[in-house]
Amino acid sequence: MKNLIATLGILLLAFATEATAQSFKVIVNKANETESVSKKELSRIFLKNKTKWDDGSEITPVDLKASSATRKAFSNDIHGRDVGAIRSYWQQAAFSGKGTAPVERSSDAEIITFVTNNPGAVGYISESTDATGVKVLTIN
Amino acid sequence: MVNRRIPILTLIFVFLIGAKVTFAQSNWEPQTNITGYISTEVNYFDELDGYDLNYSAAVSEAGILISYQPKSNFRIKGVFVYRPKFEIDQMLNEAFGELTLSEEAKFKAGRFLLPLSPSNTFYYAPVNTSATLPILVTNHEFYPVTIDGASINGSIGSEFKVNYDFFAGGFNNSTWLRTGAVRFFGDEVNYFKKQINSSATLDPSYNETYNFGVGGRLGFSYKSNIDVGFSAFKPNDQDVPLLVNVPANGLYPGSPATQIVQESRFEKFSYGINVKLQYQNTKLVGEYWKADLVIDGSDTDLEGGFVELNHRINKVTPYIRYEDQKTADVDYKRYTAGVNYKPSFRKTFKLEYLRYEHSSGDINGFVGTLIYSF
């Protein structure tokens, strides 16, 4: 019985850790005046429901490849759904003509380059990656 | 040939527009999107009259979507869906170019899904929660699914939006397009007409004909929670071949029972309302259509509707649907309950029970579907 309780305790702890862990940081171009963003807003931005920054300029979200561990963490934490569910969302959008998924890049370095070159861009990189050259947003 | 010439000409037209736009702008990263699926299904029916088999398994459809956006304001989209026994022309679901002048004004030309109802979002197997399409989609009596023509569309507003889409063009008359492994879906009206020995029905040659029409949709939405739309479609008046059952002695004293094909003048106008409500993981979708049909000066009302409720619990989505369709002499209902399980983007499993209720006799069926997406 004690073993069962201990196992359940470890599992709960593991889930709790996964739910609260944030292994990514959200970055924008240095020219962007935004300092913070809520999870809900971020989700809307990456689902292309919110398309403009507060100053009226276009938002260009950029995703990591579907196999990326950072994207998995971002998807679970920000959208509350796994990467597969979000890909399904975009497949439905593509077939019904409602839109197409954000552009994708293969690595953190490519995300940083994209954000540096596009004033309206927003992306995310691994928490351990050096974000010099871009601005890191605070997530509310 | 005319039904192939029109989409080809419109495609050439939009490619020319696209080429001009491509050279007109810079600083855009061209984007290509490719996705698709293969769908297999097993059908079982208990009391299907006139069919050799009550059950069958088959590849029900396989589709591929390719879209290319060379500039931020111009995109080309093509969707090809293989379905058993469809002609190539019927498998080319979409092939169009769209020019975005602004969010409020977009211009589209080529072959595209009609914007008449949200049921078009159900049209492709992986994006449809249910294992079967709503009767309104599989049965094309009220309106066609695609059109070869042009559209002007757009949306005004951000959280509260007003959407519009007006179009004109040519389309295939395809009232009975059988789908599914047993190939019963899409043929329901025809099936029940045979069951009651209806005095007249559309002759199969009607499926080969081409017509022109105009229509549109005006919608109002709030975030992704509420969407209400009003649609209308007016095809040109047309001489339609009717298959008429003539009883014994009907032509002259002593004449045998027979069938004749006679052309009748069809004047048709269809209109409807559709609603989508979504709260968190619960979604309610429904629509109601009415068509005023005048056959050789005589009025007939046609109507149909459906309402579907689904609720997603993580990777599992149970759903129920109620449908009703009334034609000149057939009125039937379809009740559906099923479950959609999507463990990953690539895999979808669906299991569904259907019950058709009609005065000629009820039919029960099961549909199991396995879909691989890429």
**Is residue A37 classed as helix, strand or coil in its secondary structure?**
strand
Closest CA to A56 of A36, A77, A33: A33
Closest by Cβ to A88, choosing from B29, B224, B342? B342
Burial letters A2-18, b for 16+ CB under 10 A, else e:
eeeeeeeeeeeeeeeee
Yes or no, beta carbons of A100 and B31 under 8 Å apart: yes
State the pairing for strand pair A24-28/A36-37: unpaired
Q: Is the pLDDT of residue A15 over 60?
A: no
Burial letters B78-96, b for 16+ CB under 10 A, else e:
bbbbebeebeeebebbbbb
- Interface residues of chain A, partner chain B, Cβ below 8 Å: 49, 66, 83-85, 87-88, 91-92, 94-98, 100-101, 103
Q: What is the pLDDT of residues B329-339, one digit of tens each?
A: 899 999 999 99
Preferred mutation among A89, A95, A110 to probe B, highest tally of B CBs within 10 A: A95
Q: What is the pLDDT of residues A64-114, one digit of tens each?
A: 999 999 999 999 999 999 999 999 999 999 998 888 999 999 999 999 999
The H helix count followed by the E strand count for chain A is 5, 6
Q: Is the pLDDT of residue B19 over 50?
A: no
Q: Which residues of A touch B31 (CB under 8 A)?
A: 100, 103
Closest by Cβ to A94, choosing from B33, B112, B223? B33
Closest by Cβ to A94, choosing from B35, B123, B346? B35
Yes or no, beta carbons of A97 and B77 under 8 Å apart: yes
The confidence score (pLDDT) of residue A8 equals 46
Q: Is the pLDDT of residue B13 over 60?
A: no
A16 Cβ contact list (under 8 Å, min separation 6):
none
- Cα-based angle A128, A129, A130 (whole degrees, multiple of 5): 120
A137: closest CA of chain B, how far (Å): 24
Yes or no, beta carbons of B113 and A103 under 8 Å apart: no
ipTM of the complex in this document: 0.83
E strands, chain B, are: 31-45, 55-71, 74-82, 92-102, 105-113, 146-156, 160-172, 200-202, 210-222, 226-235, 238-246, 258-279, 282-295, 298-311, 316-326, 331-341, 347-357, 363-373
Q: What is the pLDDT of residues B94-137, one digit of tens each?
A: 999 999 999 899 999 999 999 888 777 788 999 999 999 998 88
Q: The whole model's pTM is what?
A: 0.84
Name the closest residue on chain A to residue B128, using Cα atoms.
A92
Closest by Cβ to B124, choosing from A85, A87, A95? A95
Q: Which residues of A touch B113 (CB under 8 A)?
A: 96-97
Average pLDDT over residues B294-309: 93
The confidence score (pLDDT) of residue B348 equals 97
State the pairing for strand pair B210-222/B160-172: antiparallel
Position of tokens 């950072």?
A70
Is residue A115 within 8 Å of A54, Cβ to Cβ?
A: no
Q: Which residues of B touch A84 (CB under 8 A)?
A: 342-346
B178: closest CA of chain A, how far (Å): 22
Q: Which residues of A touch B35 (CB under 8 A)?
A: 91, 94-95
The confidence score (pLDDT) of residue B11 equals 54
B364 Cβ contact list (under 8 Å, min separation 6):
B45, B46, B47, B353, B354, B355, B356
**Segment (H or E) for A93:** helix A83-96
Q: Is the pLDDT of residue A16 over 70?
A: no
Average pLDDT over residues A2-12: 48
- Cα(B251)–Cα(B256) distance, integer angstroms: 8
Yes or no, beta carbons of B127 and A85 under 8 Å apart: no
Q: What backbone torsions phi and psi does residue A18 show, to the nearest 5 degrees?
A: -65, -35
The confidence score (pLDDT) of residue B21 equals 44
Yes or no, beta carbons of A92 and B127 under 8 Å apart: yes
Burial letters B244-278, b for 16+ CB under 10 A, else e:
beeeeeeeeeeeeeeeeeeebebbbebbbebebee
Task: Identify the DSSP state of A101.
Answer: P
State the pairing for strand pair B226-235/B210-222: antiparallel
Q: What is the pLDDT of residues B29-64, one digit of tens each?
A: 899 999 999 999 999 999 899 998 899 999 999 999
What's the mean pLDDT when you consider all of chain A? Answer: 86
Q: Which residues of A touch B223 (CB under 8 A)?
A: 49
Q: Which residues of B touch A97 (CB under 8 A)?
A: 77, 112-113
- Cα(B142)–Cα(B302) distance, integer angstroms: 8
